[in-house]
Chains A and B, each alone.
Chain A
C-alpha cells in the first residue's frame, strides 16, 4: 500500500502521524494546550451538554441521567488522551472503537461532526489564551486541528467498516433466506426461487443445493423458477449447471415453472438443455418426482369417511 494514497483502510499510528503531518512540535503544542484545557474539561463538557439539550434528536441517544454521566466520563477520558500527545497504536484502536460504538448505536456521522464543530471553538479559545499569556510560545492551534481530523477519520473509518460488516451480514442472511432448500418429502428437495437472480445468487443457490443433496441423500431435486422474471445468459447457464451437477450426484433434477420469456431466452442463447428435465408447473414436477420414487398420493375424497 502506498503511504501517500488516501485509503479508508486502517493504518499504523506512525503512518497516520505522517499522513496528517503531526510533528513532535505539534505534540508538544498539544501537551501545552492540554495543560490549560484539562482543568476546564468538565466546564467544557457541561457547555457541550447544554448545547446538546437544544437538540432532542441528540438527547434521544441517552436513556437517562446516568447514561449522560457515563458518556461524560468517557468524554473526559477522550480529551485527556487527546491532549496527552501519545499517538500510538492504543490511541488509534481507542478512536476506532469509538467509531464502532457510534455505528452500533446508529449515531449519524453528522451528529458526531456537529459535536466536534461545537467543541472546536472552545479548544481554539484556550489556545489563544495560552498564546496571549506567554508571548514566547507560538501556539497556532494547528496541532489540535490535525488531531481532530485524524480522530474524525478514524471514527469514520470504523463507522464505515462497521456499516459494511452489518450490510454484509444482512446480505448473507437474506441470501440464506432466499435459498430455502426444503426436503418436502423423504429424498425430495424443493427450491422455489423468487425475485432477481444474478450470477452471485446463482452461485449461492448451487452451493446450497449441492450441499443439501449431499447431506440429505436426496434422490430428487426440484428447482422452481416460476417466481423469476428474467434471466441472462450467465444465470441461465448456472441454472442448467445446477441441475447437471445434481444429476452427477445421483439426484434426478427438474426445473419447473419456466416462463415463456425464460424459455425463449434459453433457446435464443443456444444453451444445451437436452439433459435437463423440465415441467410447466411445480405441481407437475412434484407429481412426477413422487411417481419416480414410487410414492402414491391419494385424494382425501377417495378415502372412506
Chain B
C-alpha cells in the first residue's frame, strides 16, 4: 500500500481507496490497514476516502465489505467520505450493507459525524 494513501489525523486513520480497488491490492490494503490499527491502538476510527473510486463490481465490493467488517471487529468506528453519484447508485443496487457506518460529503464532514 502506498504510504500516501494512509494518513492518521486526530486518532482517525484515513485511507484513500485507489481507482482500481480490488483483487490482490485490496487484500494488501486490508492487511496493511489492520496491521496499522493493531500497531496504533490510539486510532479509534477509520475513514475510507472514495474520491477516486467511481465504480465497483460485486467481487470488489465484497472485499471492501470484508475490510469494513474487520475494522468493525477491531472495535473501530468506520466512516466513508466523498462517495460520488455513480458509486452511491452502485452500492445501493448491490445492496451493500454499510448500515452502521458514517457518511460524509467530504473528509471534514465525516470526521465531524464520527466525533458526534
Contacts and interface: CB of A to CB of B under 8 A. Distances in A.
B22 to A, nearest CB: 19
Contacts, number: 52
B26 interface: no
A248 B81 CA distance: 8
Interface stretch (B12-20, B60-68, B70-78, B99-107): B99-107
Contact of A249 (B84, B93, B98, B99): B84
A219 B85 CA distance: 14
Given A210-B88, A211-B85, A217-B105, A248 B93 contact: no
B103 to A, nearest CB: 5
B89 interface: yes
A204 to B, nearest CB: 12
B84 to A, nearest CB: 6
Contacts of A213: 85
B65 to A, nearest CB: 13
B92 A249 contact: no
A94 B33 CA distance: 67
B91 interface: yes
Interface size grouping (class) on chain B? 20 to 34
Contacts of A210: 85-86, 88-89
Interface string A235-259: 0000001001111111100000000
21 contacts: A206-B89, A207-B85, A207-B89, A210-B86, A214-B85, A218-B105, A219-B109, A241-B92, A245-B85, A245-B91, A246-B88, A248-B87, A248-B103, A249-B83, A249-B85, A249-B105, A250-B83, A250-B109, A250-B110, A251-B105, A275-B99
Interface of B: 80-89, 91-93, 98-99, 103-106, 109-110
Interface of A: 206-207, 210-211, 213-214, 217-219, 241, 244-251, 275
